[in-house]
Amino acid sequence: MPAAAVPIALKLAERATGIEVQWARHQDDVRAAQRLRFDVFAGEMGARLNTPLAGHDVDLFDNFCEHLLVRDQATGQVIGTYRVLTPAQAKRVGSFYSDTEFDLTRLRSLRERMVELGRSCVHPDHRHGGVIMALWGALAEFMVRNQLDSMIGCASIPMLHNGVVSGDVAASIWRQVQATHLAPIDYHVRPRLPLPIEQLDSTLDVEPPALIKGYLRLGAKVLGAPAWDPDFNTADLPMLMRIADLPARYRKHFLGA
């Protein structure tokens, strides 16, 4: 299920913002995405990455994924990336990455048309809406073109807050989204290493990370309590987005329908 060229409508939008969206075509493209991921995850977030290539975030799922890139047109630098694991490739590798963090048994009815989004990151100098919207536009087109209707992923909440590693922020965000955006029980999943919510302060007045807020605006649902990822120094919320749940204004923006 190869990724095709990015559609013309998206190309016109890119021209106005000085960025270019493309699917990785060869190993050099993937390596550029992996370098950005390393800089963000290890450099900024303090992740302990078990990687075979110094300065790159590499894992066993990468070779099975499509890699979506945003480049700065002026410099050619990769400034944003996602990786996408399709149902066929998930079967080849043996699982989704999310299966390693959550028991996804209740999602089995969705798997044939469900992709996994992962390793999302944007360069710190380019964290404005344009980069994320460009990525999402290309993802929406990919889903429709390949007749896929659901997206899952682990949305990360950094554990480092005001210089202190703590799960209180994640517990507080979970309390908020549980009240407003929890999926029906039929789709609930269980973390394999749960964040110990009951031992944390969940009363902080904090906002979810921008990416999670963006997902929720797109109609995403939270599938259950966060998992704790000690290697990445994050609490990960399991999230599900379905094309059918896209609000009308985003459907028009991304799909022209």
Is 65 a member of any domain?
Answer: yes
pLDDT at 112: 96
- Has residue 189 been placed in a domain? yes
H helix intervals, the chain: 8-17, 27-38, 87-93, 129-145, 168-180, 210-217, 248-255
Q: pLDDT tens-digit profile of 50-91?
A: 899 999 999 999 999 999 999 999 999 999 999 999 999 999
CATH of the domain at 32: 3.40.630.30
Q: Measured in Å, how far apart are the chain's first and last C-alpha atoms? A: 24
What per-residue confidence (pLDDT) applies to 38?
A: 97
Instruction: Let me know: does 227 contact 102? Beta carbons within 8 Å.
Output: yes
Looking at the domain assignment, is residue 2 inside a domain? Answer: no
> Is 105 within 8 Å of 52 (Cβ atoms)?
no
The pTM of the full predicted model, rounded to 2 decimals, is 0.90
For residue 162, tell me if it sits in a domain: yes
What is the distance between the alpha carbons of residues 208 and 215, in angstroms, rounded to a whole number?
Answer: 11
Q: Residue 82 belongs to what domain range?
A: 8-245
Count of domains observed in the chain: 1
In a domain, 255, yes or no: no
257 found inside a domain = no
Per-position pLDDT tens, the chain of length 257: 445 444 444 454 455 468 999 999 999 999 999 999 999 999 988 888 989 999 999 999 999 999 999 999 999 999 999 999 999 999 999 999 999 999 999 999 999 999 999 999 999 999 877 898 899 999 999 999 999 999 999 999 988 766 677 899 999 999 999 999 999 999 999 999 999 999 999 999 999 998 999 999 999 999 999 999 998 889 999 999 999 999 998 888 888 76
**Is residue 220 within 8 Å of residue 181, measured between CB atoms?**
yes
Residue 209 belongs to a domain:
yes
Q: How many CB atoms lie within 10 A of CB 202?
A: 17
C-alpha 142 chain-centroid distance: 15
- Any domain includes 76: yes
